[in-house]
Structure 1
Amino acid sequence: MSGEGRQRIDKWLFFARVVKSRSLAAKVVQSGRVRLNRDKIDLPSQQVKPGDVLTITLERRVIVYRVLEPGTRRGPAEEARTLYEDLTPPPAGGGEAVPDAIAPVRPQGSGRPTKKDRRRMDALRDDE
């Protein structure tokens, strides 16, 4: 099954810098989060060739790449960008996008009282 211009998908994901390690690439494929030409795959040994379209689901985003060529090594990001064409659609929505990675901010005084707040409440009760 290995022909000219073909490569294992886990190696290609690693060389294209989609994931940080080859073992992580294999786990992503095995978990069913990668589609090859709209077909769900679960084998890291699946072969990709130039012209294939990959749909990859990572955390809270979906990435669509067209394979341009197989990789030879995990080089710098500029080299990795030559392996694919990004077909990812722009984010939907008319307004500002809500950042996913920023934790919500809780104003002081809301929620569970702090030790300082409890002391103030105890002081108010003692005065009565």
Structure 2
Amino acid sequence: MEKIRIDKWLWAARFYKTRSLASQEITKGRVLVNGQPAKPAREVAVGDSVNVRKDHPAITVIVKQVSAVRGPAPVAQLLYEETAESREKREKAAELRRLAPEPAQTISIGRPTKRDRRQIDLIRGKG
């Protein structure tokens, strides 16, 4: 059975742009292998579960192939398969973001003018 370091695999599978960035994220505890925190030198094999907290919600994938070479994106996608539960959570979060109200729409008039500031001060008793 072939194994490879988790930082190399995450880089080859295009989860992170550089291997050093993958190592930093693993060290921060944002990557779990089979439900346990990992170190950059931790080896993964085919069938292992990898949880990556890069965005919200976290992505959970199953390792399908191992590769130490970073190739094009279509080839990198063959290295893993996202779990159905993870895909559902990601799609639900995307839908909630799409339906969320725009925060800037709640601001109707912008910053108070000098006159508005004086009136606010009078109401608060500072004038």
- For structure 2, the residue ranges without an aligned partner over 5 or more in a row are 120-127
The answer on 1:70 being equivalent to 2:66 is yes
Q: How far did 1:14 drift?
A: 0.4
Q: TM-score, normalised by structure 2?
A: 0.74
Matched, 1:32 2:29: yes
Other structure's SS at 1:27 match: helix
Q: The residue matched to 2:74 in structure 1 has which SS?
A: helix
| Shift, 1:70, TM fit | 0.8
Identity %: 33
Note if 1:23 corresponds to 2:20: yes
Residue 94 (structure 2) pairs with residue 98 (structure 1): no
Tell me if the contact between 1:74 and 1:80 (Cα under 8 Å) persists in the aligned partners: yes
Q: Decide whether the 8 Å contact of 2:5 with 2:44 is kept in 1.
A: yes
The answer to whether 1:84 aligns with 2:83 is: no
Q: How many residues align?
A: 109
Deviation, structure 1 residue 21: 1.1
Q: Distance in 1 between matches of 2:64 and 2:55?
A: 25
**In 1: Cα distance, 2:109 partner to 2:67 partner:** 55
Larger Rg: 1
Other-structure match for 1:60: 56
What are the Cα deviations for residues 88-120 of structure 1, in whole angstroms up to 9, with x where unaligned? 241286xx4125xx973153414x32xxx43xx
Cα distance, 1:71 vs structure 2: 1.3
Could you list the runs of 5+ residues in structure 1 that have no partner in the other structure?
none
User: Per-residue deviation at 1:61?
Assistant: 2.0
- The one-letter amino acid of 1:66's match is I
Q: Distance in 2 between matches of 1:23 and 1:73?
A: 15
1:109 aligns with 109
TM-score when scaled to structure 1? 0.73
